[in-house]
Amino acid sequence: MLLRWIVLVPLLGAAVNGLLNRRLPRQVAGLLACAAVGISFALSLTVFLRLAGMPAEARFVNDIVTTWIGFGNLQVDLGFAMDPLSGVMALVVTGVGFLIHIYSLGYMSHDKGFPRFFTYLNLFIFAMMTLVLGENLLMLFVGWEGVGLCSYLLISFWFGEEANAAAGKKAFVVNRIGDFGFLLGMFVIGATLLPHLGVGEGLLSFRVLQAHAGTLAPAATLICLLLFVGATGKSAQIPLYIWLPDAMAGPTPVSALIHAATMVTAGVYMIARMNFLFVLAPTAMNVVAVVGAVTAIFAATIALTQNDIKKVLAYSTVSQLGYMMLACGVGAFAMGIFHVMTHAFFKALLFLGSGSVIHAMSDEQDMRVMGGLRKKLPVTFATFMVGTLALAGIFPLAGFFSKDEILWKTWSSGNTLLWALGFLGAGLTAFYMMRLVVLTFFGENRASAEVKHHIHESPATMTMPLVILAVLSVVGGWVGIPHFMGGGAHFEQWLEPVFARHEVAPDAHGAGAHLVDAHGAETPAAETHSAENPAAETHAADEQAAGDHAADAHAPTGHDAGAMAATAAGHDDGHAAPAHGGEAAHGAHDTTMEWILAGASLAWGILGLLLGYLVYARRVGVAETFQKMGGGWPHKVLLNKYYVDEAYEGAFIRPGYWLSRTVLWKSVDAGLIDGLLVNGSALAVAVLGSVLRLFQNGMIRFYAWSFTIGVTVFVLYLSFSG
């Protein structure tokens, strides 16, 4: 019962604020919204602790409210579930979301849309919790669409300005493109699986999908690629990342909420949730890894030249999401979620810190007119530095552990080129973040005298969340200290029941699939799969699974599902899955190499920070020299974001406008529908009426002549027709 209230309490908060709106005092509306998310966090923590008290393999709690769709074999429940994966996400969403709500009390205190803002914030949390705790893929999709709607409402919150409204529409449209792929993926799943379901099995229930992984295996590549199209939209990956930087048009707490805790993590979560299917689709996994790595370096280079403080952080988010996708692509799903968590801490901190700066600078966002704020905003500066160091991956802050583990998993799985891209991106991240810090907090302030007069530290409602997030940005990664550093890798162990049974790797010779168990031991797929008759084996496994689920539709299926995953991997187009999970895939590993790579990663991050400080604080001429290199074109290309928006404008938007205006509007709408069908039919009726009116003129003589002519024609016809 608790699970449904985790979701519903924020919805109740949104309903009360939305219905009463301006009838409630402003502070009451804000506190009500904060309390709703706070209660949701407390309930999430309660269920999470209950999970922690269970045996690892039994950590699953569900709350089925009712049957949503019931027709023949087609059954979909309206319900919620929490396992170790959704438990982590629930704490991150409600915990960080609660701090952002508190911060918003101060940041939005003078805004006339105060109650409406908190209504949307609560609605956003409700949608995200539906996505995270949904028991099946359809519930996840409901939340998926909900966060899309809320992002539109919040990004265009100040809709009086056309640019803000356009940014909201851009986010909405781009995400619908991705969602189309997601929908097609669900349709393929339904069409493939429905004939194989037993009585009482929910079609899109994650545990049922997991149990029938073998049945879905032949279509796994198609399904995963379609789902990944949806993920590129929500999690801002190439080519659908373009909405995220423009999302800065919304209030800064919105940026923090979207970029840190909610919407952009949805794609990573969805892929991690569907891990049992992705490991059966090596091609799709490779696509995810390559897109993630390329996005990471691509966005990092753009961030080097942006002058809007929030735009730098926005491209940083796109880049960090690339790391998360890279982790999922190489099979290190736990590390992807680990980076989701640590990134939520320090990216929320950085966005809220930038909001404090913007608040002090009288809404100025251009770093070129900032500077010298570290003494006037001491709390903001100190916490912002913590966030910067964490994002740069400096030991022992949170970002170091999650990013380093992603790079290590990429390297150890044999993807050295992707590792090189990630490694290069890490150095660039440190460099552009130090550039941001220097331009904002060091040197002399370059604002007008009036703006300088109003510069002051933010109120406690804004600085306290910064301090809490700064603490989390320091210690948040310690739950994942890896074994080679003497830690217990507790975060990875926590998620093992969700991921470990489904990691599939090629053997030492690159052929044949192995199932990796929770302890890293490998089992040849051949032991669970009849190579001579894979179809029969798969069918038999499905029948067994169907029987198991007919008895208990929600029973744990770890071993059976793992066996079927291995079975399917063994006959997936005759190809073995790629290396997944790095060290886990290869068993024992060389800790010396791990130490070397971790040291190199740390040194690379420190070097990036030092170079950023020297170039922008001590040797300003160097930056100008680099900007003029190659005639200034490289810098201009980066400053204009590789002209991607212009390319979309030329390739899709202008042709779309032309098609809409010339063909759809003038030809189809105005010409065919309005002109021919609507006006044409009206004209035809009018003409026909006019003609018929001639025969009903009320003249007796005309009717007599008409009758005579008619009778004459009829008689002649009968005479000659014989």
Exposure string over 583-620, b if 16+ CB within 10 A, otherwise e: bbbbeebeeeebeebbeebbebbbebbebbbebbeeee
Q: 132 CB contacts (<8 Å, ≥6 apart)?
A: 86, 89, 90, 93, 143, 269
Q: Quick one: pLDDT at residue 413?
A: 92
* pLDDT digits 0-9 by tens, 372-392: 999 999 999 999 999 999 999
Residue at token pair 């290396």: 579
Q: 351 CB contacts (<8 Å, ≥6 apart)?
A: 252, 253, 255, 256, 259, 260, 310, 313
* pLDDT digits 0-9 by tens, 390-439: 999 999 999 999 999 999 999 999 999 999 999 999 999 999 999 999 99
pLDDT at 510 over 70: no
Q: How confident is the model at residue 354 (pLDDT cuts 50, 70, 90)?
A: very high
The number of beta carbons lying within 10 Å of the beta carbon of residue 408 is 23
- Residue 197 CA to residue 546 CA, distance in Å, equals 6
- Residue 612 CA to residue 603 CA, distance in Å, equals 14
Residue at token pair 């699986």: 193
pLDDT at 101 over 70: yes
More confident residue, 687 or 618: 687
Exposure string over 50-79, b if 16+ CB within 10 A, otherwise e: ebeeeeeeebbbbbbeeebeeeeeebbbbb
Task: Give the helix ranges, DSSP H, for 304-446.
Answer: 309-329, 333-360, 378-391, 398-412, 416-441
Contact of 101 with 120, CB cutoff 8 Å: no
Q: Quick one: pLDDT at residue 504?
A: 45
pLDDT at 287 over 90: yes
Q: Quick one: pLDDT at residue 200?
A: 77
Q: What would the mean pLDDT of 338-347 be, rounded to a whole number?
A: 96
Structure token digits, residue 374 = 């570290």
Radius of gyration of the chain, Cα coordinates, nearest whole angstrom: 30
* pLDDT digits 0-9 by tens, 531-553: 333 333 444 444 444 444 433 43
137-146, 318-327, 418-427, 533-542: which has the minimum mean pLDDT?
A: 533-542
Q: What secondary structure does DSSP assign to 82-151, as a single string?
A: E-HHHHHHHHHHHHHHHHHHHHHHHHTTT-TTHHHHHHHHHHHHHHHHHHHHBSBHHHHHHHHHHHHHHH
Structure token digits, residue 536 = 């029969």
pLDDT at 461 over 60: yes
- Residue 264 CA to residue 244 CA, distance in Å, equals 9
Element (H, E) at 69: strand 61-71
133-137, 217-221, 570-574, 716-720: which has the minimum mean pLDDT?
A: 570-574
Structure token digits, residue 301 = 């280079």
* pLDDT digits 0-9 by tens, 669-692: 888 899 889 999 999 999 999 998
Q: Quick one: pLDDT at residue 379?
A: 96
- Residue 202 CA to residue 81 CA, distance in Å, equals 14
* pLDDT digits 0-9 by tens, 195-219: 888 877 888 899 999 999 999 999 9
Q: Quick one: pLDDT at residue 73?
A: 74
| Alpha-carbon torsion, ordered 651, 653, 654, 655, to 10 deg | 70
Contact of 37 with 125, CB cutoff 8 Å: yes
Residues in the chain: 722
Q: Quick one: pLDDT at residue 500?
A: 65
Whether the CA torsion 447, 449, 451, 456 is positive or negative: it is positive
Q: Quick one: pLDDT at residue 628?
A: 86
Contact of 89 with 110, CB cutoff 8 Å: no
Q: Quick one: pLDDT at residue 50?
A: 95
The number of beta carbons lying within 10 Å of the beta carbon of residue 185 is 25
Element (H, E) at 64: strand 61-71
* pLDDT digits 0-9 by tens, 464-493: 999 999 999 999 999 999 999 988 899 999
- Residue 476 CA to residue 396 CA, distance in Å, equals 10
- Residue 138 CA to residue 664 CA, distance in Å, equals 34
C-alpha dist (Å) from residue 248 to 166, 363, 503, 584:
12, 13, 38, 39
276-285, 532-541, 633-642, 677-686: which has the minimum mean pLDDT?
A: 532-541
- Percentage of residues in the chain with pLDDT exceeding 90? 68
Contact of 572 with 282, CB cutoff 8 Å: yes
Q: For all residues of the chain together, what is the average pLDDT?
A: 86
What is the bridge-based pairing of β-strands 503-506 and 513-516? antiparallel
Structure token digits, residue 132 = 């995270």
* pLDDT digits 0-9 by tens, 67-83: 998 887 788 999 999 99
Structure token digits, residue 296 = 């990471």
